[in-house]
Amino acid sequence: MALQRIGFIGLGVMGRPMAKRLVAAGFDLTVHSRSPRPVDELVTAGASRAGSAAECARGQDAVVLMLPDSPDSELVMLGPGGVLEANPLPALVADMSSIQPGVSRQIAERCAERGVAFVDAPVSGGEPGAVAGTLAIMAGGETKAFEALGPIFEVVGKSAVLCGPVGAGGTVKLANQMIVAANIQAVGEALVLAVRSGLDPSVVMEAIRGGLAGSAVLEAKGPKMIAGDWKPGFRLELHLKDLNNALAAAKETGIQAPFTTIARQIVQTLVTNGHAAEDHAAIARYCEDLAGTTIAPSDS
């Protein structure tokens, strides 16, 4: 099925640049979001405005969701004025939010009853990846539906992998977030050690980036720690949500996740202490507080 008419619901930090890329790529985009400001911006860029999720989804070839959490996806899909109240219904829905895999499966069942194909397709890459169109997409669903969404995925991402049935995408995203949180924590601890040892953290980063410790997390978050730049590309409060979902999934499957448990406790402390809206690189703040020092120079 050729995709041309797309509904896009959720224009936050990630959704807004993704939607802008789809407009620029020539899709006939209709947008809806709780906040009017990004809707106005997208309309100026060439999108159409919808007053509800159902209106946004009406007769579309596909609908894309980019929402904060599981209750938001449930409400937008299944609630009053939701996507499944559209007439006519869209052919496809891609929920690119990071939500609980079980919720994705429940939504998919309701979609199937109405003849709507559903794919859960959360992403990794943060705001920079959304702006650049280099997101990593982890999908769950039927092969036919995944392949049909290819033109959208090609605009917003650099890779898209079908990981299994509906819910698999969400499970892989939780695994991704477990790794990212532990990696950020390790980078923060290492750079605090460097500073307390009298070393320049920029030099330390340059020395280790080419070895086994080199990683995408080091490249993306190390410079933010060194600059003391906590402007959000991905907010700590959202990473806390993901870690909570990851631990819930671990409990359901009967596994222990000690590193994730520790990371979750650290992120919860930071959120409680007023850092919820900061970038998740601010996990380093916890290490700084314990050491009584900062990675960034005092004049940053």
Task: Specify whether the CB–CB gap between 28 and 56 falls below 8 A.
Answer: no
Work out the pLDDT band at 59, boundaries 50, 70, 90: very high
What is the model's pLDDT at position 2?
76
Same fold, 5-165 and 172-291: no
Give the domain ranges of the chain: 5-165, 172-291
Mean pLDDT of 122-145: 96
Provide the Cα torsion 61, 63, 64, 67; round to 10°.
Answer: 180
DSSP-assigned beta bridge partners for residue 92: 62, 117
HSE-CB of 211 using CA atoms within 13 angstroms: 6
Question: DSSP H helical segments within 79-197, as ranges?
Answer: 101-113, 126-132, 143-148, 150-156, 168-196
Query: Do 201 and 226 form a contact (C-beta atoms < 8 A)?
Result: yes
pTM, 2 dp:
0.91
What is the 3-class SS of 167-196, one letter each residue? CHHHHHHHHHHHHHHHHHHHHHHHHHHHHH
How many percent of the chain have pLDDT more than 90?
A: 97
Phi, psi at 210, each rounded to 5°: -85, -5
Considering the segment(s) 172-291 as one domain, its CATH architecture is Orthogonal Bundle (1.10)
Residue 220: its pLDDT value, please? Answer: 94
Q: Read off the tokens for 118.
A: 């559903």
Using CA atoms, how far apart are residues 296 and 91, in angstroms rounded to an integer? Answer: 50
CB atoms within 10 A of CB 34: 14
Q: What single letter denotes the amino acid at residue 206? A: E
With respect to CATH, is domain 5-165 assigned 3.40.50.720?
yes
The pair phi, psi for residue 124, each rounded to 5°, is -130, 145
Question: For residue range 262-280, what is the model confidence (pLDDT) as tens digits?
Answer: 999 999 999 999 999 999 9
Band the pLDDT of 51: cuts 50, 70, 90.
very high
pLDDT tens-digit profile of 208-258? 999 999 999 999 999 999 999 999 989 999 999 999 999 999 999 999 999
Would the pLDDT of 298 be above 80? no
**Confidence grade of residue 300 (pLDDT, cut at 50, 70, 90):** very low
* Residue range 186-202, pLDDT digits in tens: 999 999 999 999 999 99
**How sure is the predictor about 297, in pLDDT bands with cuts at 50, 70 and 90?**
confident
Sequence-ordered list of residues with C-beta below 8 angstroms from that of 134, at least 6 positions apart, any chain: 125, 128, 157, 158
Between 233 and 287, where is the model more confident?
Answer: 287
Name the 3-class secondary structure at 146: helix
Confidence of residue 299 (pLDDT cuts 50, 70, 90): low
* Average of per-residue pLDDT values in the chain: 96
Q: Is the pLDDT of residue 53 over 50?
A: yes
Is residue 118 over pLDDT 50? yes
Q: What does the pLDDT read at residue 141?
A: 98
Residues tagged active-site: 173
- Crossing angle for the helix pair 168-196 and 283-291, nearest 10 degrees? 30
Work out the average pLDDT over 77-91. 97
